[in-house]
Chain A
Amino acid sequence: MKLTSLKVVASSALALALATGGAQADQEADLIINGDTEITVRTAAPAHLENLSEILSGWTFRTDETQALQMDDFDNPGMIFVDQGLDVWNTVEGSADKSCASCHDGPESLKGLRAELPKWNEDAGKVYTMEMYINDCRTERMGAEAYGWSDKNMVNLTALISVQSRGMPVNVAIDGPAQSTWEQGKEMYYTRYGQLELSCANCHEDNYDNYIRADHLSQGQINGFPTYRLKNAKLNSTHDRFKGCVRDTRAETFKPGSDEFVALELYVASRGNGLSVEAPAVRN
């Protein structure tokens, strides 16, 4: 890995050059996947976001090497899991003897869905994430057991469905019946959790583009989820990422799939309104 420094101030140039170990990211680069799918990685912040003028995909903060992995599906290690998701999609399971494909045909029938999730589900009377829709189909329509939120099959299915919307702008509704859930998520975003008393905003709004130890802080956007992480070599759900970030403040976390994390997901998703769906993104 090359040793380079970012944001070097003249007087401390030497210190930072020695200190900052992360390889440099090309923050001005544009992302075009497979030479044809243009991804919006930076755009004007949505109106509800008072404290930021521009929103940026986590991709812009990653190293050249990590960025490159996402530019071609042959290099993107997350695509293997999309293929595995397709196997799950076609597998008959449960007492109704059905697969997802029995009712939905190909996954492309769900194109566009990822861009608007989470969203208000009128029948259920609450905000739904993709995992909740999938589990409803499994338990109510297939006679199969619900997946755990972080089960490999669940995460791979969400990747398969998400990739159908790749390149489409995130467009999550924050008003109407979803508003109170959105407000709850917003309050969480600014709450300073744990013994370190750090809110999501402390790191991802006040300090994005700064290094915290070896990590180059991004805006903590979720347009790329589920993301493939080089660190654990698998796809990671949004809620697992939230859990890790809350844990790192020396706090008691919330559970993946909890009402709290669903609310936080809605709010964080809305902070990315205008970025493209990028899943499965590649991160470190």
Chain B
Amino acid sequence: MKPTLIGVTCLMLGAGAAVAETAPQAVEYDEYGAVAASLSGAAGDPVEGRVVVSTKSMGNCVSCHAISEMSDVPFHGEVGPVLDGVADRWNEAELRGIVANAKMTYDGTIMPSFYKDTGYVRPGDAYTGKAAKVAPLPPLLTAQQVEDVVAYLMTLKEE
């Protein structure tokens, strides 16, 4: 297998114009799991981020987290903490790290790693139950989607 090579090709094909984009394996986490720089090189859009957080086929974050502000979206889960006021608890770099790969912040957490493309046991082709067709896998969220989600999370302030 040549994961790096294929990874680069995917990004070049997939990401088009985003020159400053950081590939999943190149993301730099600090010792607490935070990521300082934008993964896409661009700013996030909180409106898009809200869509990613609430949509099952995208971030599907509400399947584990409740968010009061999102009461228009049915069926919030309770596996993870309620995200109200999350921007009071974490800064942008920390939130980026949690969304990109929460395991760097919380060792062994059940929360999936959304910007990671290798290191899986029996990776599948999305929800088909069949074996993955490519390696590395496309990450669960694109770099820009991660930024959009972070921008949305930064709006969740209570203080």
Chain B 102-127: CB-based contact to A (< 8 A → 1; otherwise 0): 00000000101100000011111111
Q: Are A247 and B128 in contact (CB under 8 A)?
A: yes
Q: Give the CA-CA distance A195 to B60 in the complex, in Å.
A: 14
Distance, CA A190 to CA B77, complexed state (A): 22
Complex Cα–Cα for A15 and B73 (A): 11
- Chain B positions 50-72 with a Cβ under 8 Å from a chain A Cβ: 56, 60, 62-64, 66-68, 71
> Could you tell me if A206 and B110 are in contact, using CB atoms closer than 8 angstroms?
yes
* Residue among A193, A211, A213, A247 making CB contact with B127, cutoff 8 Å: A247
A253 to B129, CA, bound (A): 5
A105 contacts partner chain B, Cβ-Cβ < 8 Å: no
Which of these, B56, B79, B131, contacts A207 with CB under 8 Å? B79
Residues from chain A with a CB closer than 8 A to the CB of B143 are none
User: Count of A residues near B, CB < 8 Å?
Assistant: 35
A193 to B129, CA, bound (A): 11
Q: Tell whether, in the assembled complex, residue B137 and residue A212 are in contact, meaning their CB atoms are under 8 Å apart.
A: no
Cβ of A65 < 8 Å from any Cβ of B? Answer: no
With a cutoff of 8 Å between Cβ atoms, the chain B residues found around residue A251 in the complex are: 120-124, 129
Please report the total number of B residues contacting A with Cβ < 8 Å.
35
Q: A212-B63, A252-B131, A252-B132 are in contact. Are A20 and B78 (CB under 8 A)?
A: yes
Q: Assess the B124–A211 pair: CB atoms within 8 A.
A: no
Q: Is the interface of B mostly helix, strand, loop or mixed?
A: loop
CA distance A193 to B126 in the complex (A): 13
The answer to whether A250 touches B67, judged by C-beta atoms less than 8 angstroms apart, is no
Give the one of B67, B79, B137 with max A CB within 10 A: B79
With the chains together, A192 CA to B103 CA distance in Å? 13
A51 at interface by CB-CB < 8 Å? no
Contacts of B128 in A (CB 8 A): 247
Report how far A243 CA is from B127 CA in the complex, Å.
11
Contacts of A7 in B (CB 8 A): 78
CA distance A19 to B121 in the complex (A): 33
Query: What residues on A are CB-neighbors of B132 within 8 Å?
Result: 195, 252
A164 to B64 Cα, complex, angstroms:
39
In the complex formed, the residue of A with least CB distance to B137 is A195
Is the Cβ of A15 less than 8 Å from the Cβ of B66?
A: yes
Please tell me if A103 contacts chain B, counting CB pairs below 8 Å. Answer: no
Whether B79 lies near A195 (C-beta < 8 A) is no
Is there a chain A Cβ closer than 8 Å to B16's Cβ? no
List, sorted by A's number, 10 A–B pairs whose CB atoms are closer than 8 Å: A15-B67, A192-B121, A194-B123, A196-B112, A211-B76, A211-B78, A247-B128, A251-B124, A252-B124, A252-B129
Besides A7-B78, A195-B120, 4 more A-B contacts (Cβ < 8 Å) are A21-B75, A197-B121, A207-B110, A210-B79
